[in-house]
Every structure is written in structure tokens, then in C-alpha cells.
Structure 1
């Protein structure tokens, strides 16, 4: 079973709906024991980094997430859940979880798109990925596939963690991490077939980890 972290700052219902469509057993939970005993954890998020960190801290879920990572359990962070895996977010000047090295920055409104027009912030809509490293999450995902984005801030992880990038004013990391610990700036649960394939790949990886134990 996959656990979807419930901390009142996420899009848990959308994630559960996508997993239900894939017939993947899942539960929305904030119960530490359930998170630590799930096959894998999905860490979604919408809204602001400061609010998300406040909710996590007030419920003790920041410590639970760190324990999930230390245990080697697979984890997938999505959108704000992706951003606050890093050390710091310029949004609300927030010290974040520090699970992966890096920071989150705001799109600069003076940047321009490929047609020379100032960026519209937030970045909202469909965009593609430029793959930088092999990633199990992208197995059977077409190279030309597009994913759904909605964000005003973007992650800047350590370069060795960047798995795929997207261009909006400038190139930024849209998928980063390492095997078993991944983060997507886009919303796979809202990205149609490519997003469903990514979620199915995450579940398959979780099952492999369980069977290897």
C-alpha cells in the first residue's frame, strides 16, 4: 500500500483519485505508524512553503518524514512537497526540511519567454521534460510527453540530483532526486497518461524494494 501524506497543505484527493484509477492500494494518512509501514510515501503539496512547513512541524510530521527517508522507504515529493525537501525556500523566507541539498527560488518577472514576452507568473500549464539522467519514474514515458505545472517558485537542487529539466524563462529542475527519493515540480496526478505511467512506475519500484527486503 502507498501512503499519501495528509498535512492539510496538499492535493491528496487528486493523488488518491489517480492511484485508484490505477488500482493501486493507497490511503491518505498522517499516522506515523502507517507512513513508516507503507510500501512507499507520496508527499504532495499546494500553497505556500511557509504554511506547509508550519503544518508539518505542528504535527511532528517533519521528523516522521526524516525517519521515512532514513529507513530507505521510497518517497515521491510533488510540487510544494518537492520544493520543501530542499534546505530553503525564498517563499516566506522558509527554512525547509533539508532532506536534499538545494533551495527554491522565485521566477523573475523580468525574464522572457521564447517569443520575448515577459513571463506570466505563476507558470501554469503543460510543458515537456529534457532528460538529463536515467530515471525509473520515466520508464515507458514518451520523450515528447508533457506534464502539468502550476508554480511561482522553482527548485534549484545540487546539480548531481537533476534528472530532468523544463524551460520557462530559464531552464530549471523539474524532476530531481536519487533512486527511491524523487521530487517532481509538475503534478503527475494531473498530467494524464504520462503522469499515470510515472505513478505506476513509482509503485512498481516500491514493490521491488519490498520484495528485496
Structure 2
């Protein structure tokens, strides 16, 4: 069962709709008991880093989520702010992140190469695939995905960068470390490429 972690932010239904079209069983996880049957986990997120971390910390889901991901190695996919939460922290706030993939979340507005560009980075952009991550099985070399964000993941270990995109600078937009993955783009809004990525995550 694919479980989408419902801790108060993120468009949960959009993910469930994609998985339904793909014929893959998926449902929300709103309580710790909902995580027990998860074979895959989606950690969505929108809004600010500290707000999302606060809601997760207060939801009662963080400890059992960490037990399943870190203790039992259940694959997880963080999406948008959910990806940023995988880092150690963010320049957007003060709270520590999950630190499942070492790195720091940076602001486009504070990066010289992108500071003069419209904020947020919004719309379709090409990905440059940099690794053989299972997320990209059967993909074209430069798939297009939908983005909406003002902050980006700055990965500490380049070996964990699975794909990049360009917005003034080349930034890390997909990270993978073993069974832990994060995507800054929105696969649930990215038509066939997004559906393929979610299918790959669920089945490989």
C-alpha cells in the first residue's frame, strides 16, 4: 500500500488521483496506525519550511514515520517542501529538518545567479538526469516537470543528486540516497512524466 502522509499540508488528493489512474493502491496516512501497512511513503509539502516542520512535529506522525523510513527502510518520496524537509535545515526558517539526506535549503533570491529572476520559480522546466536512479527508469534524457518554489535543496554530497534543473543557476531538483528520494518539482501536476516518476517510485 502506498501511503501519502497527511499531516496538514500538501494536495493529498492529487497524488491519490494519479495512483488511481495508474491502478496502484494508495491512501492517506493521518494517524500512526495508517503507516503500518505502507510499502511506499509520499511526504508532500507546500508553504514555508518551518510551518511544514511544525505541523509534522505536532501531528504525532514524525516518530512512527522515522521508524518506518529509517528503522525499516520503507522507501519514501518527499515532494516540494516535503523534499526540502529531508535536509538538515533551511535558510527560510529556524527549525531543523529531518536530515535524512544531508544538505541545506537555499533561497533563489539570495543567490546572485538567480536573484534578479522572477520569484518564485514557476512553470515548466527541463530536468537533466545525472544518475541511474530508479525514479527515471524508461525516461527521455530531458523530461519536463512543473515547478513552483522560491527555495532549492543544496545537497551536501553530489553522489546524492539524481537530477538538476536550471533557474539562473543549476540547482539540485531530485535527490536520492538509497531508499530515500526527494523531488522539488510536482510530479502530481506534471502529466505523463510525473505519472511515470510516481509509477517508478511505486514499483521499482
What TM-score, normalized to structure 2?
A: 0.93
Question: 1:152 Cα deviation (Å)?
Answer: 0.5
For residues 110 and 160 of structure 1, the distance between their equivalents in structure 2, rounded to whole angstroms, comes to 23
Q: Which runs of 4+ in 1 moved over 2 A?
A: 108-113
Paired residue for 1:183?
A: 182
Query: Are 2:25 and 1:25 equivalent residues in the alignment?
Result: yes
CA deviations on 1:27-51 (whole Å, 9 max, x unpaired) are 1122222213211101111111111
For residues 30 and 177 of structure 1, the distance between their equivalents in structure 2, rounded to whole angstroms, comes to 25
Question: 1:124 Cα deviation (Å)?
Answer: 0.3
For residues 171 and 130 of structure 1, the distance between their equivalents in structure 2, rounded to whole angstroms, comes to 10
CA deviations on 1:107-161 (whole Å, 9 max, x unpaired) are 0267457xxx931110000111112211111111211320000000000122221
Q: Report which stretch shifted further, 39-48 or 103-112.
A: 103-112
1:119 to 93, 117, 121: 117
Consecutive unaligned residues of structure 1, counting only runs of 5 or more, are 206-213
For residues 21 and 197 of structure 1, the distance between their equivalents in structure 2, rounded to whole angstroms, comes to 12
Consecutive unaligned residues of structure 2, counting only runs of 5 or more, are none
SS in 1 for 2:109: coil
Judge conservation of contact 2:101–2:177 (CA < 8 Å) in 1. no
Q: How does 1:149-168 map to 2 (within 5 A)?
A: 149-158=147-156, 159-168=158-167
Judge conservation of contact 1:109–1:121 (CA < 8 Å) in 2. no
**Aligned residue pairs, count:** 202
Residue 53 to residue 138, structure 1, CA distance change in 2 (3 Å):
same
Q: Report which stretch shifted further, 31-40 or 175-184.
A: 31-40
Q: How does 1:68-83 map to 2 (within 5 A)?
A: 68-69=68-69, 70-83=71-84
Judge conservation of contact 2:79–2:183 (CA < 8 Å) in 1. yes
Paired residue for 1:84?
A: 85
Paired residue for 1:211?
A: none
For residues 81 and 110 of structure 1, the distance between their equivalents in structure 2, rounded to whole angstroms, comes to 22
Paired residue for 1:103?
A: 104
What TM-score, normalized to structure 1?
A: 0.90
Q: How does 1:129-148 map to 2 (within 5 A)?
A: 129-148=127-146
SS in 1 for 2:36: helix
**RMSD across aligned positions (CA):** 1.6
SS in 2 for 1:95: coil
For residues 132 and 140 of structure 1, the distance between their equivalents in structure 2, rounded to whole angstroms, comes to 14
For residues 108 and 57 of structure 2, the distance between their equivalents in structure 1, rounded to whole angstroms, comes to 27
Question: 1:24 Cα deviation (Å)?
Answer: 1.0
For residues 66 and 86 of structure 1, the distance between their equivalents in structure 2, rounded to whole angstroms, comes to 14
For residues 157 and 135 of structure 1, the distance between their equivalents in structure 2, rounded to whole angstroms, comes to 16
